[in-house]
Amino acid sequence: MSRALRLLLAAAGRTGGALVLLMGASFVIYITIRSAPGDAIDAISPMGTPPQVKARLLAEFGLDRDPLTGYFAWLFRSARGDFGDSLVVAAGESVMAVAWPAFKITLILSGLTLLASLALALLGALVLGRPAGRQQLLTGPLYVITSAPSFVQAVLLAQGLNWTIHRYWEQLNYETPPWYPIPIYTDSLMPYVFAGLALLLGDGLFMDFFNAIRAELEGLRDAQFIAAVKAKGARTWGHIARNMLVPLVSGYAARLPIVLGGVVIVEYIFTLEGAGYLLLEASRERDFPVVVGISVLFTATVIGSTLIADVLRTLVDPREVARGG
């Protein structure tokens, strides 16, 4: 078999595996819905839901059938992007129509934040290198600050933001440049920047990333093949960069779930109308089709990012294919 064909097969195998995982995860979500106490439909739908809506929900979630057929009915509807209609948050509208635009905001916010975290961590690791005695003492306070949950960071920053806006920004109107990719719902970009900052500084994300990258970089610098490259008189940075690519991408994918966890509450604090905000609103109002739809979207994102990292690793690292799917 040629290498290209093997790569293609490996990628196909990985995608198949990811789809199976997604099915499994959605099954867990479905079973959670079915395990509602008492009469399921009364327990999960908000108070005062009219009987015809309840009947529709019953059919949509296959609650009137046995779990397995009910699950597959729901799965096929979901696979077509049909998560039913929202009950309260945007009553009558389809869940996807509400959730998708909000989800885009969340995805871009968390994706960019993580990218910034990666860039900063990489830069730090390159500049600082091996930590010396005094540096280690300095990292202590930094460690405490960055292990605080992102919502605590967000509360502190929001207080700062409020104060700043009161002081300087109240009269200013920010205009979105036409090229800007993030849909802007508020007049100012500042809340996004602050939300990003809270995510970046919180949940132990940065220090974890930084330490992982630094360890990886140190390991590479001490690797025997780098010594061999030096000994033959070639430059090492090309080799180091190539070998850093895989851990960087894997690290990125592995940390996305952490950021997606933090983003929910941070969006809520800064009232950014992303999927997290929507999720909490819907959860508060017991608008469970929306909650379920967003949960599936988040789960799919986690699986998708891992898949992308896996495929990329297969492309970059020849040992992956040899190891077999």
Partner 1 sequence: MSRLLDVRDLVIEFDTRHGRKRVVDGVSFHLERGEVLGILGESGSGKTMSTLAVLGLVGGRPGVVQGQVLFDEGAGPQDLLADLGRVVKPRGDRLVKNDRRWQRLVHRTMRPLWGRAMTAVFQNPRHSLDPLMTIGAQVEESVRLAQPELDRAGRAGRAVEWLARVQMNDPKRVHSSYAHELSGGMCQRAMIAVALARAPMLLIADEPTTGLDTTVRAEIVALFRELLADRRRSMLYISHDIREVLFLADRIIVMRHGKVVETVAVADLKAGVGERHPYTASLLAAADLAFEAAA
Partner 2 sequence: MSELLLEARGLVKRFRSQSLLRGSHETRALDGVDLQIRVGEVLAVIGESGSGKTTLGKVLLRLTPATAGEIRFGGNDLRALRGKALRLKRREFQMVFQNQRANLHPKMTVRQMLDESLRLHRPKLDAEGRAEHIGGLLERVGLSAKAEQRPESLSGGERRRVGLARILATQPKLIVADEPTSGLDAAIKLQIIDLLRRLKESSMTYMLISHDLGLVRRIADRVVVMLKGRIIEEIPAERLGDPRHHPYTARLMRAAHLSEDHASQGPSVIEVGVGGEQRHGGCVYAADCPVARERGLLTRCRQERPEPVALGPGHWVACFASADPIEEEP
Partner 3 sequence: MGGRAERIAFWGSGAIVALVIAIGLVSPLIGYDPAAAVDYEQKLLGPGAGHWLGTDAQGRDVAMRLMKGTEAFFLPGLMAAGIATMAGALLGAIAGYAEGWGRTLVVGFLQLVDTLPRLIFIILVCTILNPSITLIAGVAGVLFIPSIATVIRRKVEALGSEDYILAHVAHGFSTTRILLYHILWLQARPLLIRQATYVFGYVLFVETALSYLGDYGVQEPTPSWGNMVAQTRELGGASAWPWVFPAVAIAVTIAAFLAFGNLLARRDEEAIR
Interacting residues toward partner 1 by CB under 8 A: 129-130, 132, 221-225, 227-234, 239, 242-243, 316-319, 322
Nearer Cβ to partner 1 (36/229): 229
Q: Are 6 and 321 in contact (CB under 8 A)?
A: yes
Nearer Cβ to partner 1 (142/234): 234
d(CA 16, CA 14): 5
Residue 69 interacting entry, from partner 1, partner 2, partner 3, none, C-beta within 5 to 8 Å by type: none
Residue 65 interacting entry, from partner 1, partner 3, partner 2, none, C-beta within 5 to 8 Å by type: none
Question: Considering the complex, what minimum distance in angstroms separates the CB of residue 315 from partner 1?
Answer: 11
Interacting residue with partner 2 among 10, 89, 279, 307 (CB under 8 A): 10
Question: Considering the complex, what minimum distance in angstroms separates the CB of residue 210 from partner 3?
Answer: 14
Residue 325 interacting entry, from partner 3, partner 1, partner 2, none, C-beta within 5 to 8 Å by type: partner 2
Nearer Cβ to partner 3 (33/248): 33
Nearer Cβ to partner 2 (131/325): 325
Interface residues with partner 3 (CB under 8 A) are 21-22, 24-25, 28-29, 32-33, 35-37, 43-44, 133, 136-137, 140, 143-145, 147-149, 151-152, 155-156, 158-159, 162-163, 203-204, 257, 260-262, 264-265, 268, 279-280, 282-284, 286, 288, 291-292, 294-295, 298-299, 302-303, 306
Question: Considering the complex, what minimum distance in angstroms separates the CB of residue 162 from partner 3?
Answer: 7
Interface segment toward partner 2; rule CB under 8 A; list 7-15, 46-54, 186-194, 200-208:
7-15
Nearer Cβ to partner 3 (6/60): 60
Q: Can you give the three-state secondary structure of the chain, one letter per residue?
A: CCHHHHHHHHHHHHHHHHHHHHHHHHHHHHHHHHCCCCCHHHHHCCCCCCHHHHHHHHHHCCCCCCHHHHHHHHHHHHHCCCCCECCCCCCCCEHHHHHHHHHHHHHHHHHHHHHHHHHHHHHHHHHHCCCCHHHHHHHHHHHHHHHCCHHHHHHHHHHHHHHHHHHHHCCCCCCCCCCCCCCCCCCCCHHHHHHHHHHHHCCCHHHHHHHHHHHHHHHHHHCHHHHHHHHCCCCCHHHHHHHHHHHHHHHHHHHHHHHHHHHHHHHHHCCCCCHHHHHHHHHHCCCHHHHHHHHHHHHHHHHHHHHHHHHHHHHHCHHHHHHCC
Which parts of this chain interact with partner 2 (CB under 8 A)? 1, 6, 9-10, 13, 321, 324-325
